Structures are given as C-alpha cells and as structure tokens.
A and B are shown apart, each in its own frame.
Chain A
Amino acid sequence: MKKSLFLVMMVSLLGFLAACGDDEPDLVVTSFTDELQEPIEYFEELHDVNVDLQIIPTENYVNTLRPALESGSGAPDVFTGEIVYLKDWVNQDYWEDLSQDPYNVDEWSDDYMEYVWDLGRDEEGSMRALSWQTTPGGIYYRRSIAEEVLGTDDPDEIGEMFDTVEGLLEVGEMMKEHDYRLFPDEGSIAPYTNGANPQPWVNENDELIMTDERMTYFDYAKTLRDEQYTALAPAWSPAWFASFTGPISYNVGWDELDEDEEQTDETEVFAVSLPTWGLHSVLEVEAQETAGDWAVTNGPTPYFEGGTWIGMYKDSENHELAFEFIQMLVNDEEFLTEWVSETGDVLSYYPVMDEIGEDYSNDFLGGQNHYDFFMERAEEIDASHVTAYDQTIEELFGTQVGAYVEGDATQEEALAEFYSRVTNAYPDLVIPDELEEEVADELEEFEESGDLEEEPVE
C-alpha cells in the first residue's frame, strides 16, 4: 500500500516537473548578458512576435554554445559573440554570410567604424557578424577626489597627467599621501603595457609574441602593489564594485612598514580603467551613490576592450526575422537613438553618433560629453592584433604577473611558468626562441626541487 502510494507520488511529481515546458518562441536569441533584453522587448512590440532570450554566463558561454552550433540541435537563431572568441567564430561557419543576397550588409559599410566592420569578416572577407558598438577604453575617476588632491577635476588636465605611466604613478603617490588609492587593483594598468606597442599574442607562424612592453606589466603591477597605490580589490570582486561607491576596508597586513603612520583599515579608490560599456553596465549600475561625481579621461595609451558582435545561425529556420532583429540592432536610426540616450553606449554607427554627440552631456559623468571623448579614442583603435588565443593567454599571463606581484615567484620563474602553461594549453604554439633554453633550465630546476621534497600539508 505504502509502496504504491509512493509510486503514485513519484510519477505525479515527475509529470508535474516535466510539464514545466514552455511555448515555442518565434525567435531564439542567445547572449552572455541581459543587455539585449530591452532591444528584444522593443522588437517584440514592433513586430508582434515572441522572442526568447537565453542568457549563458560569460564563463560557460563558449563551452556551452559551441556544441549546439556544431551539431545544430538546440542552436539559437541569433547569437552574440564577444571579441575574445570572435576571431575564432567568424571562421567556423557558425554565422550566416551576411555579405550575400538578400542581406548585402556591405552596402551599409560607409556608415560604420572600419575596425568594427573588419573584425566581423571571415578569412574570405565575407561578413559574418556585426556590432553596434565601439569599445575604446579610458580611465574613469572621481571628480571630488581629483579636486581635493590634484586641484582640478577637468578631464583634459587630468588626461595630461595620465599621459604616461610615470605620470600615472605620480598621481598614485599623491593619492596615497591623501589616503586614497589610485586604482582598485593592479589589473587597471594592464591596458597601457601592450597598448604602448600593440602586437598580436600569436603571429601567423603560430609563434607566441612577447614584447618588452608586455614585460613592463610585471614591473608596473609590482610598483602599484609595493607602493600601495591599489586597494587590493581584484577586478569583478565584490570589493571592486564597492570601491566605486565609497571607502572599502583595506588591510594589507604590512603595519610593520608604516609603524609611525596611524593604521587605517579603510581607503577610497580614485580611478579605474574601463571601456565604454563600463559606464552603463558597471558604474551606472553599481555606483548610484556617487552619480555625478565621475568623469572619464585618457590613459597613457589607447586601448579597447570587449565588444559584442551579433549574427544569425547559418541553419536557422527564421532567417528573415533574425535579420530583421540584427538590422534593428545595428542599423535602425530610431531604435539606436533611443538606445543610446537610454544607456550611454557608444556606437560604431556614425549617423546616430554624429547627431547625438553634437551637444550631449551625461549626468552620471557630471555633465561631460563622453561621446566626443570616446569617438576620438575610437579612431586610434588598431584591431589587427586580435587573435583567437587572446583570452586564454591573457588569463595565463595575468595569473603569472599576479604570482610575481604577490612575491610567490621571481619574474623569470613567472615568465617560464607562463610559457610552460601556454604550450600546455596549446601544444602547437612555439614560444620565443631566445627563451626556450632558459625555460628548459627553469623546468629542470623546478622538477628537481618542486614535487619531491614537500610533505603533506600540515
């Protein structure tokens, strides 16, 4: 009796759970943020259709979406790609060729920023994915702190101070004297290392490119840490977000070094390096308390980061509607005007930018016209060095710089470990010649000393 009751319960529970299906949407869009939610609502109203937005977190995006694109089962009609794997994807035959009839998107090309347009092309030059954005970066800073420490909050004057890394570090010293911190973390300096001499991470011969400029990341990051110019709040951590709104707790545990100073366990952060989208998707969301107290200016070198491209799946059954959606997102003046005025996003589409940029002031940035600033910076972008390896390699490099900054490894050890990890992840890549031997020695040493002597953790 008990048993059959149990079975009935199980079966009905399963039935209930299985019944939680959903009705068929007209269009399925997959992306890694909820950024497209509002455009989709706009689109749904416009065309009276039902669009389903699937959000897959950035971390799992590639791993989870790729199998569906390969096999076609469960693939969306429209999906976005971030710059970090864009290069890989445009050549994988996932996205429909938009250069061909009836789309002919090349006809629009004059209205767009060239680099954005070029990044969406495959090796044959056909357009696979488009983007409405341009994503140059800058340094956002707090006006009130600038006024107090630097005597001005003017973006141009501060931009001059930030014109070199040395200048940046000088400001860092002044900030420290007033108990502020220049940046939340050491990563904020990273864009200006490779930015000084932009090179791809991997060249056409599958060789890893290491430049002196890239190597400066080690030194600059170490300086930032050792001189206490940062607030030990790693990017995207809760403390990092909190650093935009006010003092955050700060305890380096180095009180021996500053015995005479009064120990403070809180500090406030002055500035952070972020690209265009950092304004509307990070600062405006997380830093409402300090709205109006921000401004944006240039760093030592131009750089750009991120950017979302969008295209339609080649085997989608809804090509027509899918293209409608992409067209609206990328080329619909009315929609884009509304989008820009709502979000503050910076577009790669000149007609709208020219019109809006004319006299614009952003309240969050204390009335600054950031379009002017960013459109100028965008012209300096050189996207030719983007490769499919960037994300993984940069992650590995950052980890090793971190180990050096923490004092866990010497620069040579960290570099050797970096090379070793790169070849471990990509066995086909060749690491720089002159260093290969050095790395081999380093490895030998490691093997002799590393694994053998350690006891179980105590």
Chain B
Amino acid sequence: MDKMKLSRIGIYTGLVILVIICFIPFYMMIINATRPNSEILRGFTLIPGDSLMDNYDVLISYMDVWRGFRNSLFVAISVTVLNAYFSALTAFALVVYEFKFKNAIFVTFIVMMMVPGQLGLIGLYDLSETLGILDTYWPLIIPAVAAPFTVFFFRQFLITTMHISILEAGRIDGASEVHMFHRIILPILMPAIATMGIFTFIGSWNNYIVPLVIIRSPDLYTLPVMMGALSGSPVASNLGAMYLGIAISVVPIMVAFLFLSKYIISSITAGSVKG
C-alpha cells in the first residue's frame, strides 16, 4: 500500500510539473505585459512590473485589439449559427426523404471531407474578387452553410436517435414540414449541435489563412490577422505592448474556457467516439 502511495505522489508531482511547463509561456506573457520595454530587454523576472497602462496606451494607439475581438466574435458566431442551422436542415432532408441524387450527394460528402481547405483557397479568392466581396466577411461566413462534415455527423446522430413515427404523428396533427423541423428535429439535434458548434467556433476563431487572404481593411481584421499585423507594426518596437496585445487576444478565451471546460471536453469525447 505504501508503495502505491509513493508512486501516486510521484505521479502527481510529475503532473504538476507538466502543468507548470504548460503554463510558463502564458505566465511570461502576462508578466511581460506589465513591464516596460527597456526592462524586458534586460532580463527576465517573475514579478509583475508597473507599466501595464503605458503598454496599453502604446498598443491601443496603433491597433484596436478589442475591435479584432469583436470582429472575430462576429464571424465565429455567424459561422457557427449558419453551420448548425443549414447542416441540420440538410441532414434532416437526407434522413427523412427519398429523392434523386441522394446517394450521389452523400458520396460527395465523404469525398469532400478529405479535401484540405487550402485546395480551393486561390479559387475562393478569385471568386470573391469577381463577386466584389473581397474585403468583406461574406467569403468567410457563407461557406459555413455547406459543411459536409457537420451534415455527416448530424445525419448519423439523427439516424440513431430519431424515430420516423414522431414525424408521422406530427403530420397527422397537420404540422408543416418546416414547423416540424424547427419544433422537433432541432431540439433532438441539440446535443450534436453543441458538439459540432464548439468545433466550428474554435475552427473559425483560429482561422488565419482565409481572412489573411480575403480581408484588407484593418477595421475588419479578425484577431489572428491582427496578431500577424502586430509583428510588422510600430507596436513591435515595444515588447511590453506586444506581450500585452497577445495577452488580450488570449486571456478572455482562457477565462471563457474555464467556465465551459466541462462542456467542451465532453463534446470532444463525444465527437471522437461517434465521428
């Protein structure tokens, strides 16, 4: 029994060390965000400095990180909502109805899931230029309507959890198909929507290359593009302001995660087992 206890202590120590290693970069970031440039250049310390507001002034005079935050939030929420709603609609049609090309569409899904997003990047850029929607959010948001992977996931979910008899009962009561989709199917799909929603949100939030190519006005920059622009901006002459800019882009997400972590992690578990 003693041996067990000892090895448990050893393991916990190891785990704590691993956690510390994981968090050192964030800790350095936060500490340095409060220190003036001159001191950061001189060396490293564990104690916060007193230049937080100075750094903030420098940062904000060149780049409105909060705006990037709002922009990213807007895009990610739009993408998540569209993705969930239209994927559910499509999955609903695939499961409930019989129609021509149904199998062809289904096979296309499977193939498309293997296609890397970069394959169409150049074409998307050119299409956007032709349509006059470069430097708008449309090319970032609209494609979310057609997300094969999400449809696939919802379809599997519906097949295992929904009984056609529910719909038949609805029809007898005279409910329209659209009404039934909103009232019956969406609630049934909610757990699956939550799971895929988290992935979709994180994916859109982190997307760098597409907005980098599409967005040009600094007012429209999403957070990742703003981070990229930060290193080439005058802010780069002040390391404290740089660290602060990164911290602002990171800390709110960390805080949000702490509240939602249970939910997110069970979604990952569900996504991997079923997907």
Chain A residues close to B by CB (< 8 Å): 3, 10, 13-14, 17-18, 20, 34, 54-60, 63-65, 67-68, 70-71, 73-74, 236-242, 245-246, 248-249, 286
- A238 in contact with B41 (CB, 8 Å): yes
Q: Determine which of B81, B216, B237 lies in contact with A68 in the assembled complex, contact meaning CB atoms within 8 Å.
A: B216
B68 CB to nearest chain A CB (Å): 13
- B73 in contact with A17 (CB, 8 Å): yes
- A56 in contact with B81 (CB, 8 Å): no
B78 at the interface (CB under 8 A from A): yes
B122 at the interface (CB under 8 A from A): no
Instruction: Give every chain B residue within 8 A of A60 (Cβ-Cβ).
Output: 216, 229, 232
Complex Cα spacing A19 to B134, Å: 20
B238 at the interface (CB under 8 A from A): yes
- A249 in contact with B41 (CB, 8 Å): yes
Instruction: Give every chain B residue within 8 A of A34 (Cβ-Cβ).
Output: 62
Chain B residues close to A by CB (< 8 Å): 37-38, 40-43, 62, 70, 73-74, 77-78, 81, 125, 129-130, 132-136, 186-187, 190, 215-219, 229, 232-233, 236-239, 242
Complex Cα spacing A44 to B222, Å: 30
- B132 in contact with A17 (CB, 8 Å): no
- A241 in contact with B135 (CB, 8 Å): no
Instruction: Give every chain A residue within 8 A of B236 (Cβ-Cβ).
Output: 236-238
Q: Determine which of A13, A20, A55, A67 lies in contact with B218 in the assembled complex, contact meaning CB atoms within 8 Å.
A: A55
Complex Cα spacing A34 to B62, Å: 9
- With contacts A14-B78, A71-B132, A249-B41 taken as known, whether A56 is within 8 angstroms of B237 at the C-beta atoms is no
- A242 in contact with B38 (CB, 8 Å): yes
- With contacts A10-B81, A74-B135, A249-B41 taken as known, whether A56 is within 8 angstroms of B187 at the C-beta atoms is no
* Nearest 4 CB-CB pairings of A with B: A64-B216, A59-B232, A17-B74, A73-B132
A60 CB to nearest chain B CB (Å): 6
- A10 in contact with B218 (CB, 8 Å): no
- A3 in contact with B42 (CB, 8 Å): no
- A3 in contact with B134 (CB, 8 Å): no
- A71 in contact with B129 (CB, 8 Å): yes
Instruction: Give every chain B residue within 8 A of A10 (Cβ-Cβ).
Output: 77, 81
A-B contact pairs, 24 of them (CB 8 A): A3-B190, A14-B74, A14-B77, A14-B78, A20-B70, A34-B62, A55-B218, A56-B216, A56-B218, A57-B218, A58-B232, A63-B216, A64-B216, A65-B216, A67-B134, A68-B134, A68-B216, A71-B129, A71-B130, A73-B132, A238-B236, A241-B238, A242-B37, A249-B43
Q: Determine which of A57, A68, A71, A249 lies in contact with B232 in the assembled complex, contact meaning CB atoms within 8 Å.
A: A57
A239 CB to nearest chain B CB (Å): 6
Instruction: Give every chain A residue within 8 A of B215 (Cβ-Cβ).
Output: 64
Instruction: Give every chain B residue within 8 A of A286 (Cβ-Cβ).
Output: 237
Complex Cα spacing A334 to B28, Å: 50
- B37 in contact with A238 (CB, 8 Å): yes
- B217 in contact with A56 (CB, 8 Å): yes
- B70 in contact with A238 (CB, 8 Å): no
**Chain B residue with minimal CB distance to A54?**
B217
Complex Cα spacing A246 to B187, Å: 65
Instruction: Give every chain A residue within 8 A of B37 (Cβ-Cβ).
Output: 238, 241-242
**Chain A residue with minimal CB distance to B135?**
A74
- With contacts A14-B78, A64-B216, A67-B135 taken as known, whether A236 is within 8 angstroms of B43 at the C-beta atoms is no
- 20 new A-B contacts, CB < 8 A, other than A74-B217, A240-B237, are A10-B81, A14-B74, A14-B77, A54-B219, A56-B218, A57-B218, A57-B233, A64-B215, A67-B135, A73-B135, A74-B135, A236-B236, A237-B236, A238-B37, A238-B41, A242-B37, A242-B38, A242-B41, A246-B38, A249-B42
